[in-house]
Amino acid sequence: MPGSARTDDPAAAHSGTAAGYRRESCDCKTDRCFPVPTDVPPAIPDAPAPAAFDLDAYLRRIGWTGSLDPTLSTLTGLLRAHMLSVPFENLDVLLGRPIRLDLAHLQQKIVVARRGGYCFEQSTVFRAALEAVGFRPVAHAARVVMVTPRDAAPRTHMFLSIPLAEGTFVVDPGFGGHGPRLPLLLEEHTVSRLDDEVYYLRRDAGDWVLTTEIDAAPVSLWCSTFERECGIDFEMGNHFTSTFPGSRFVTNLLLRALTPDGRVSVMNQDVTIVRGADVDKQRLASRSDLRLLLADHFGFDLPEVEHLKVPAIPEWT
């Protein structure tokens, strides 16, 4: 696999229980779900479980008014609209809040409160939206290998594949830094381009490997066997990602928001704002600066970040 490349983008970076725990739903339809603690105040007020995914509210959230026919064109438009509207962020992890994957909570957080999330949250919501439109998405897990060797990378990333008349396409709305903004055909070495971005999938040691180019050099982003995963598998990966002391999401501040002409990314105190060919690098001097950045570029105000604790930033602990 190609060696890792230097990057400033984040995220190279994703019932029937004991008292004091709860779990509303699981794709596996089993009562042996990994429990979610209820004694920790949730970030977003609990919402009653909806009878179905609120597609209209979601479409308003991402600003999509185009076709809802289950075609490649619609899939491409929905993915682009989602990624432009829903930022990548791990703020709740750093605030010590449980990351819940039930749709009622995710709709309250991402659709109503206009927050973002990481891969498990974003792919779960996007999957529900695609199903409501009429697509048949399949959920998969991957090992993120951009900065970690394959044998040291846990399967803690969630992405989707969608079968269409033209073939099977891969979408990954919650990868964060260097995530593809368009569906990728699941066909070896078929190159997809958008602006100056290049992506393709290749085979290596029995895995499919998502590959991009950074500074004209190939870089592997993740590898996957493309097994169909159950909801409980993502609950386990989500628990590890959001609670394990050595997880990048527990120790670092990781943010990215896409804009029509670029992106805003944050890695701890380092901020990169890209507007076309212009690159502006800044540094967050305080948590108050972070709060202003969220309001200006990420679409929400979160007063709690004034007390955010980030282990990678000694003065913010």
Quick one: pLDDT band at residue 30, thresholds 50, 70, 90? very low
Place of tokens 């919650």: 174
Q: Per the structure, how many domains does the chain have? A: 1
For residue 231, the model assigns a pLDDT of 94
- From the list 27, 172, 207, 233, the catalytic residue is 172
Residue 269 is assigned to a structural domain of this protein: no
pLDDT at residue 15, as a whole number: 38
- Above 70 in pLDDT, residue 24? no
CB atoms within 10 A of CB 43: 20
317 belongs to a structural domain: no
**Sequence letter at residue 66:** G
In a domain, 301, yes or no: no
Q: How confident is the model at residue 216 (pLDDT cuts 50, 70, 90)?
A: confident
- Contact between 34 and 246 under an 8 Å Cβ cutoff? The reply is no
Q: Which domain holds residue 141?
A: 21-248
Q: Which residue has the higher pLDDT, 16 or 90?
A: 90
Q: What is the CATH number of the domain that holds 98?
A: 3.30.2140.20
In a domain, 5, yes or no: no
Q: For 262-273, what is the mean pLDDT?
A: 97
Q: Which of 82, 105, 140, 157 is catalytic?
A: 157
Tokens 């943010």 sit on residue: 255
Q: What is the pLDDT of residue 44?
A: 58
In a domain, 72, yes or no: yes
Question: CA 151 to CA 135: how far, in whole Å?
Answer: 34
Does residue 218 fall inside a structural domain?
yes
Q: What is the pLDDT of residues 143-169, one digit of tens each?
A: 999 989 999 999 999 999 999 999 999
Per-residue pLDDT, 7: 47
Instruction: Give every CB contact of residue 144 below 8 A, 6+ residues apart in sequence.
Output: 12, 13, 14, 153, 156, 157, 221, 222
**Active-site residue, 92 included:** no
Share of the chain above pLDDT 90, in %: 79
Percent of the chain with pLDDT over 70: 84
Does the residue 64 lie in any domain?
yes
What pLDDT does 198 receive? 95
Residue 43: band (very low, low, confident or very high) from pLDDT cuts 50, 70, 90: low
In a domain, 279, yes or no: no
26, 33, 119, 223: the active-site residue? 119
* CA distance linking residue 66 with residue 78, whole number of Å: 9
Confidence of residue 37 (pLDDT cuts 50, 70, 90): very low
Which two three-digit tokens encode residue 81? 């609209």
pLDDT, residue 1, reads 44
Please indicate whether residue 119 is annotated as part of the active site: yes
Task: Compute how many other C-beta atoms are within 10 angstroms of the C-beta atom of residue 95.
Answer: 15
